[in-house]
Amino acid sequence: MLVVETNTQQLVIKVVASSPKYLPSYESSGAAGADLKAAITENVVIEPGKTALIPTGIFLEIPEGYEAQIRPRSGLAMRSQVTVLNAPGTIDSDYRGEVGVLLINHGSIPFTVTPLMRIAQMVVASVVRASFSQVDLIVETDRGSGGFGHTGH
């Protein structure tokens, strides 16, 4: 079971793990993300420019109104140019399959994922569901439709 503190309350996320060693864990008192580990028995080599779906050995029961975001680990990105391809990946509250992490090697040499390696981090976040209303016009702003670096920064 993963317990997430929200102010003075705790959010409990039920976890089925194929082994206790695969349970997500916060590695410092101020960590926003719980580390996810590679649930593999043999090394997996990711060639430069290639991807691999790495199992974590965990299945989550996330309460409605929350999601789990799968994010890269900064150390892997900095040292090895390995990151989560679809970052942040979203685990919805109604998903019950095994959590997998899609890693990509942006580096120039092969990267080896080893058993129990910390491969990503998981951040639990609340979700606001919107109601979408079709209209003919939306309110104009000073920015307008400028995007993708339009301010020069």
Kindly write down the DSSP assignment for every residue of 55-95, as one continuous string: EEEEEEEPPTTEEEEEE--HHHHHHH-EEETTSSEEE-TT-
From 115, 124, 93, select the one nearest 18 (Cα to Cα): 115
CA distance 42 to 114: 7
Asked if 99 and 60 count as a contact pair (C-beta separation under 8 A), the reply is: yes
CA distance 98 to 82: 21
- Which residues form the domain of 76? 2-126
User: Is 106 among the domain residues?
Assistant: yes
Q: Is 70 inside any structural domain?
A: yes
Q: Is there a domain that residue 119 lies in? A: yes
Does 139 map to a domain? no
Residues contacting residue 40 through CB under 8 Å, at least 6 positions apart: 54, 55, 113, 114, 115
CATH number at residue 21: 2.70.40.10
| pLDDT of 7 strictly over 70 | no
Asked if residue 152 belongs to a domain, the reply is no
Under the banding of pLDDT at 50, 70 and 90, the label for residue 144 is confident
Does residue 25 form part of some domain? yes
Question: What is the number of structural domains in the chain?
Answer: 1
Would you say residue 94 lies in a domain? yes
Q: Is 149 helix (H, G, I), strand (E, B) or coil?
A: coil
pLDDT above 90 covers what percent of the chain?
82
- With H, G, I as helix, E, B as strand and everything else as coil, classify residue 121: strand
Is 23 a member of any domain? Answer: yes
55-107 per-position pLDDT tens digit: 999 999 999 999 999 999 999 999 999 999 999 999 999 999 999 999 999 99
